[in-house]
Amino acid sequence: MRLKKAAACLLSVLLTVTSCTVFTQAAFEPGVEAAYNTAVQGQDALDGLDVVLKEKTVSSSTNISANKTVNLKVSGMKGSSLKAEIQVDTDEGTTKSYYQNGYYYTTVSGKEQKREMDRTAIWDMINSEIYMNMTSNYLRMLYSETAPDGNVTYYFAATAETLGDYSKRLLEGSGGSQGIVIDGLQGSMQTNAQGNVIRRTIQMIYTVMNGDNQETFMVQTEAQFRQNGQAVSVELPDLSSYQKIQPEKPVATITPLQRTIYVTADVNVRAAGSLSAVILGGLTAGSGVTETGYTSDGWIQIQYNGATGYIWGDYTSTRKPVRTSDGSGTMYATAAVNVRDTYSSDGLILGTLQKGQGIEITGMTDNNWIRVKYNGHIGYVYADYLSWSEPVSDTYVENGYLTGIVTDASFGTLTIQRDDGLGTAIFNTTYAVMNLKDTIYTGDWIEVYYTGAGVPYTASLIRNNTIHDDADEARSVSVEGVIVSCTPSVLELSGSDGLYRTFFIENTDMEMGDNLSEGQVVIVTWMSRTNGAETRNIEALRIKG
């Protein structure tokens, strides 16, 4: 339904009140009854009305509500120049109608029409909107309270039995197969010190029964009477363009039609083709329903829970609507793809995304298109060509070549400090051809031919032209210890072998999860000709932490 959330507890309280309180008193205090009827009937004696009515209908099944606002102005009620302006705003839309010189002016399916209408008929229409003539003979309970400023508030309640035919005014369009029953009604009316009605509220419970289907609704209305006994001026627009229709011609006719249609937005189902008709329930966007006919003034007649209902035609389509759910974020094109102005391959092309290009998304349709922001416009991209994953740069090397100093020569893995100054490179040497003059040691300068995208590369050929002299050849040694102090260029370490060493670390290969800090346990590797006996001014090759 085209609805807003409403408090379920309010409906529960009103149901309790109507079942436990409304029916407890049948007699009225004569003075209160007379004053109430005088105020109600006194509205007919006014020369004008200026009323705004707000109405909310709440479903007990869903605890959601539909809203209506009526703005009514009437002048010349005492004389022969009666004029009226009526505007009704609902979730389905807005209607404006006028009355002047015995004609009722309205717009039907975009056509401006006028038809003859006597004062009694227009007055009945006004009463059906704001419930002005609910005298005491329709009530089951009535009492009043008087405020210090002279304002009087009348509290009243009614049942289906006491309302009688007045129920048809309260439930416009009810009857036939809908099975609508008023369960209870209560409200209040406030008058000022001069006896003019200034406010009226009504809370009504009704139930719609169709076979085994049953749904209860609460209607809350509040009418504010703004003229307070003063003259009202009604300024009507130019009505000369309205075409007169013959009195015998019905205002709206129904053309039978049997087919399945879909609602394109949440919409109320009403008992008749009118924005003032009682609500039977609602349909959510995308729902399919059987159409049984359409009216000449824009309403669609449907089958609803085994009964006849009406929905506004502007919210229907013979094609199942595409629904879009909101979303946000950045997605990336997996290939070159068009951006279109609608969610269809027939849509106008607004532009093209290149492979890897990011785009801000705003939603996704249920037919697999992504709604995007594109150059200040709303566009659509087919979902199969977008990904949440940001593309990784293609760094695969087919025939690479690097040189550098060995910093680690573990079995199956080789790490070098690159000669090009771009840090370290790691190679998988399992399948490499070794062209070596001697065993690879830390500190050797080597050449590596490789393929791959890195971490690690796959070495295909390794050349090492270093020949080691065992007498004075430096060897890599390592020691574990605790950092005593550390600057960007110097590290002092208390080793597990009991020695205190100072290392230069500006050009050191760091294999650390975090930055170096005092108290951290690390392993330091360096080249030594003394089997690690040196303690000062040592060039560290690698630090692991």
What letter would DSSP give residue 61? T
State the average pLDDT for the chain. Answer: 82
The confidence score (pLDDT) of residue 200 equals 93
In this predicted structure, what is the pLDDT of residue 19? 41
pLDDT at 58: 86
- Give the per-residue pLDDT at 348: 93
Confidence label for 482 from pLDDT (cuts 50, 70 and 90): very high
Q: Which of 426, 502, 503, 416 is nearest to 466 (CA)?
A: 416
Give the distance from CA 213 to its chain's centroid: 30
pLDDT digits (tens, 9 = 90+) for 431-471: 888 877 667 877 788 899 998 877 788 899 998 877 766 65
Does 426 or 20 have the greater pLDDT score? 426
| Distance, CA of 390 to CA of 327 (rounded, Å) | 18
Look at the block and give the residue holding tokens 């399919």. Answer: 288
Looking at residue 396, what is its pLDDT? 66
Q: Can you tell me the distance from the alpha carbon of 205 to that of 219, in angstroms, rounded to the nearest whole number?
A: 6
Q: How do residues 53-65 score in pLDDT, each as one tens digit?
A: 999 988 877 777 7
pLDDT at residue 10 tops 60 = no
> Going along 424-520, which residue ranges are E strands?
424-428, 433-436, 445-452, 457-464, 475-486, 490-495, 500-504, 509-511
Average pLDDT over residues 502-527: 85
Q: Identical fold at 324-387 and 397-464?
A: no
Whether pLDDT at 22 is above 70: no
Cα distance between residue 463 and residue 477, in whole Å: 23
150 Cβ partners below 8 Å, 6+ apart? 192, 193
Q: Which residues contact 187 (CB under 8 A, 6 or more apart)?
A: 155, 156, 157, 200, 201, 202, 203
Q: Average the pLDDT over 336-364 and give the result.
A: 91
Tens of pLDDT, residue by residue over 517-542, are 899 998 888 888 777 888 999 998 88
Q: How far apart are CA 186 and CA 141, in angstroms?
A: 9
CA angle in degrees (0–180, nearest 5) for 99-103-104:
55
What is the three-class DSSP state of 318?
coil
The answer on pLDDT for 255 being more than 70 is: yes
- For the chain, the 3-state helix, strand and coil shares in percent, each to the nearest 5, are 10, 50, 40
Is the pLDDT score of 477 beyond 80? no
First to last CA, the chain: 62
Q: Which of 516, 521, 528, 511 is nearest to 423 (CA)?
A: 511
Query: CATH number for the 4-225 domain, one of 2.60.120, 2.60.40, 3.40.50, 2.50.20?
Result: 2.50.20
Please state which of the four CATH numbers 3.40.50.10420, 2.30.30.40, 3.30.1010.10, 1.20.1250.20 is assigned to the domain occupying 249-315.
2.30.30.40
Distance between CA 226 and CA 51 in Å, rounded?
Answer: 6
Closest CA to 444 of 400, 402, 407, 479: 407
Q: Is the pLDDT of residue 188 over 90?
A: yes
Q: Is residue 199 over pLDDT 90?
A: yes
Q: Which fold, 324-387?
A: SH3 type barrels. (2.30.30)
Q: Is the pLDDT of residue 5 over 50?
A: no
Q: Which CATH superfamily is domain 397-464 in?
A: Copper binding periplasmic protein CusF (2.40.50.320)
Cβ contacts of 430 within 8 Å, gap of 6 or more: 412
Q: What is the pLDDT of residue 479?
A: 86
The partner residues of 462 in beta bridges, in order of sequence, read 434, 448
Read off the amino acid at residue 520.
Answer: Q
Query: Which long-range contacts does 167-170 make (Cβ < 8 Å, 24+ apart)?
Result: 169/127, 169/128, 169/131, 170/131, 170/204, 170/278
What CATH homologous superfamily does 475-544 map to? Nucleic acid-binding proteins (2.40.50.140)
Rg (CA), the chain: 43
Q: Structure tokens of 355? A: 């492979």
Which of 210-224, 337-351, 375-389, 483-497 shows the lowest mean pLDDT across its residues? 210-224
- The residue extents of the domains of the chain are 4-225, 249-315, 324-387, 397-464, 475-544
Residue 4: its pLDDT value, please? 37
What pLDDT sits at residue 372?
95
For residues 301 and 420, the model is more confident at 301
Tell me which H or E stretch contains 455. Answer: none
| Residue at 221: amino acid letter | T
Q: What confidence tier does 44 reach under pLDDT thresholds 50, 70, 90?
A: low
> By C-alpha distance, which of 250, 261, 247, 265 is closest to 296?
250
Over residues 134-177, the pLDDT tens digits come to: 889 999 999 999 999 999 999 999 998 888 888 877 777 666 55
Q: Which helix (H) or strand (E) holds 125?
A: helix 119-130
List, in sequence order, every residue forming a beta bridge with 433; answer none if it has no partner.
461
User: Which of 80-89, 101-110, 464-473 shows the lowest per-residue confidence on average (mean pLDDT)?
Assistant: 464-473
Phi then psi for 398, rounded to 5 degrees?
-80, -50
Question: 349 pLDDT exceeds 60?
Answer: yes
User: What's the pLDDT at 14?
Assistant: 42
- Largest Cα span, the chain: 129
**426 Cβ neighbours under 8 A, 6+ residues apart:** 413, 414, 415, 454, 455, 456, 457
CA angle 495, 498, 504 (to 5 degrees): 40
- Say yes or no to pLDDT of 206 above 70: yes
Write down the pLDDT at residue 496: 87
Sole residue written with tokens 């399992």:
430
Lowest-pLDDT range of 41-45, 299-303, 367-371, 465-469: 465-469
pLDDT at 350: 93
CB-based burial, 418-444: b 16+ in 10 Å, e otherwise? eeeeeebbebebeebeeeeeeebbbbb
Q: Which candidate, 251, 246, 328, 205, places its Cα nearest to that of 97? A: 251
Token pair 């040592």: residue: 538
The pLDDT value recorded for residue 1 is 43
Look at residues 173, 185, 166, 176 and name the one whose alpha carbon lies nearest to residue 210.
Answer: 176
- pLDDT band at residue 258 under the 50/70/90 scheme: confident
Q: Reduce the DSSP state of residue 44 to 3 states and report it.
A: helix
Q: How far is CA 351 from CA 79, 347, 492, in A?
A: 67, 12, 60
The enclosing H or E element of 152 equals strand 152-158
Predicted pLDDT of residue 23: 40
Higher pLDDT, 213 or 380: 380
pLDDT tens digits for range 266-322: 888 888 887 778 888 888 878 888 998 888 777 889 988 878 889 888 888 888 778
Highest mean pLDDT among 18-27, 162-171, 497-506: 497-506
Pairing of the two strands 433-436 and 457-464: parallel
